[in-house]
Structure 1
Amino acid sequence: MTEPDPTTSIAAGDAPALPANPDSLDAVRAALIDWYEADHRDFPWRRTEDPYEILVSEVMSQQTQLDRVVPAWEAFLERWPTAADLAAADRSDVVAFWSSHSLGYNNRAKYLHEAATQVETEFDGAFPTDPEGLQELMGVGPYTANAVASFAFNAGDAVVDTNVKRVLYRAFGVPDDDEAFERVASLVMPDGESRVWNNAIMELGGVACGTRPRCDEAGCPWREWCHAYETGDFTAPDVPTQPSFEGSRRQFRGRIVRTLGEYDELSLDELGPRVRVDYSPDGQHGREWLRDLLTDLDDDGLVAVEKRDDRTFARLR
């Protein structure tokens, strides 16, 4: 039995297909790369192939708007310009920096510090060059490892993030299925071009094929092949909604870390009013509530909690 051509059988044969003609697939690839190289957003991490600088940008960019990441990234690298500098830093200073720049999830700062330490102590100061090796670093999952391998070493696989899923879903009718997205993303990416390709397809999703598509305004290079452009159906894959940040545990955890970054240590009743205005030692949002948050942060290795003279004190680790 003859195996089906993968370019015409994306998902059980029921989705619009990529161009079956190899020449057409080459044209799809060339059109995107030409579009990207002609004009794209000039983020500073796109001008470097340093894996440390790229790792910092990738970790900072998780669920943070890129325009906000730029000044934080530049300030971070000015303070800790190399992995060796970061590894030698006091982790509490790194966490305090992260919190003061509102980069979210302070655990990321802790993991970034630990990853830099691993590079120095376990890898002789040299980053692994492939996704598998990069995943050995603390806090580096498959997506981040692949991005660093792609942008630093041109040795990655196809990146699949929310933007890429939206592009593939609309352009080629790929069903809302992670395996299908991975398969088609790998199929479309030209061999040995992960650096430019992954930058280009993410740029397409961020600039031309966003939640509100800008096909003509942005000169989308895939209009002649795009299923959504042809049909006018610009629906997109379901994206999980983030829980509300306002009033969440995450918000108050961040406030605790940010506040402790300004002091050597604070007692519960000194810290509480700085975290929320309605703090009342024996009230609903009092010492027990605050202890619970501090226990989480202590378990995460971000905060040290100590009892002295019947009082509880907290400081950044």
Structure 2
Amino acid sequence: MTAGDGAQLPDDRGAVREALIEWYEADHREFPWRRTDDPYEILVSEVMSQQTQLGRVVEAWEGFLERWPTTAALAAADRADVVGFWTDHSLGYNNRAKYLHEAARQVEEEYDGDFPDTPAELQELMGVGPYTANAVASFAFNNGDAVVDTNVKRVLYRAFDVPDDDAAFEDAANDLMPAGRSRVWNNAIMELGGVACEQTPSCDEAGCPWREWCSAYASGDFTAPDVPTQPSFEGSRRQFRGRVIGTLREHGELEIDMLGHRIRVDYVPDGEYGREWLTGLLEDLEADGLVEFDRDGADGPVARLRR
């Protein structure tokens, strides 16, 4: 039976579903957020995982929750401290820390401390898009649709010839997911893509439970949709955004040239990486609500962290 043009989902879907769930429940990677159904803890893990390898997220996640264990604690925190934690742990774009802080405030002020529990409601929280909302609904409330990330797309493309089309992937993923089991199912299919159906697959070594149904395993053709590559962090704007935040945390208010010399050794006021470049960086951070940029300071433009 087909699900979308070109896709060939097996007729015995019950067997397909149970094979995957049994494989996952027998052995899977242990991440601490898989042992909780607290929506706040799961939201923190989802936001942290967006640009960071899962192995590195564990320490940051545990440290974050030790410092701010509830939405109430995070909502009451100084935003600069939250952004500083993000920077210190190299967790990607600092505006994600700002959004997480704001989402905690929303939960406290607009929902009386109780998380919304559907994907649609969760998207009302600052910085929570469709994917994250669905993940939190699935893993915290067992109330989500099928999660479709890069790993899941790769699995569906190889196993069941699902076309490289977002709508086709959504249709096939939701068609396969057993009703009322989004928590275990989404964990299981993402695990399959993460440990067995990677870019270089390890079907037999990982004991892939879908080998008997898998088109790629039968043909030996493990082509998969292009996987976006993560831009290099070293030398990126993201890296220097983090350095600006860290330097302003340490020094407070800094004149633009003084800041420039502290964040990169090749800073030259009139050079390629000079005032114009740094002004652009500060304007981005200002737009994200992370810094205040006073262009008319007595001794020239001045930057400071927004409190």
If the length of structure 1 is used for normalisation, what is the TM-score?
0.93
The farther-off stretch of 66-75 and 299-308 is 299-308
Residue-by-residue CA offset, 1:79-127 (whole Å, 9 max, x unaligned)? 1000000000011111111011100111100000000000000011000
Match of 2:134 among 146, 165, 183: 146
Q: For residues 209-288 of structure 1, what are the structure 2 equivalents within 5 Å? A: 209-288=197-276
Equivalent-residue separation in structure 2 for 1:241 and 1:63 (angstroms): 11
Alignment partner of 1:175: what SS? Answer: coil
Alignment partner of 1:314: what SS? Answer: strand
**Shift of the alpha carbon at 1:190?**
0.2
**Shift of the alpha carbon at 1:267?**
1.8
Equivalent-residue separation in structure 1 for 2:251 and 2:81 (angstroms): 12
Match of 2:16 among 15, 22, 28: 28
Equivalent-residue separation in structure 2 for 1:153 and 1:312 (angstroms): 49
Residue-by-residue CA offset, 1:161-181 (whole Å, 9 max, x unaligned)? 000000111111111010110
CA contact (8 A) 2:4 2:171 kept: no
Residue-by-residue CA offset, 1:205-262 (whole Å, 9 max, x unaligned)? 0011111101111111111111111110111112233444433322222221222232
Match of 1:112 among 100, 115, 133: 100
Equivalent-residue separation in structure 2 for 1:297 and 1:90 (angstroms): 17
Whether 1:18 aligns to 2:9 is yes
Alignment partner of 2:304: what SS? Answer: strand
CA contact (8 A) 2:4 2:172 kept: no
Equivalent-residue separation in structure 1 for 2:198 and 2:246 (angstroms): 33
Alignment partner of 2:164: what SS? Answer: coil
Aligned to 2:60: 72
Equivalent-residue separation in structure 2 for 1:284 and 1:211 (angstroms): 38
The farther-off stretch of 256-265 and 43-52 is 256-265
Equivalent-residue separation in structure 2 for 1:252 and 1:209 (angstroms): 35
Q: For residues 36-75 of structure 1, what are the structure 2 equivalents within 5 Å? A: 36-75=24-63
Equivalent-residue separation in structure 2 for 1:313 and 1:245 (angstroms): 26
Aligned to 1:133: 121
**Unpaired segments ≥5 residues, structure 1:** 1-7
Aligned to 2:282: 294
**Shift of the alpha carbon at 1:11?**
2.9
Match of 1:161 among 138, 143, 149: 149
Amino acid at match of 2:203: C
Q: Among all aligned residue pairs of Structure 1 and Structure 2, give the percentage whose two residues are the same amino acid.
A: 75
Amino acid at match of 1:9: T
Amino acid at match of 2:298: D
Question: Runs ≥4 in structure 1, deviation > 6 angstroms?
Answer: none
Aligned to 1:312: 301
Alignment partner of 1:309: what SS? Answer: coil
Equivalent-residue separation in structure 2 for 1:9 and 1:67 (angstroms): 37
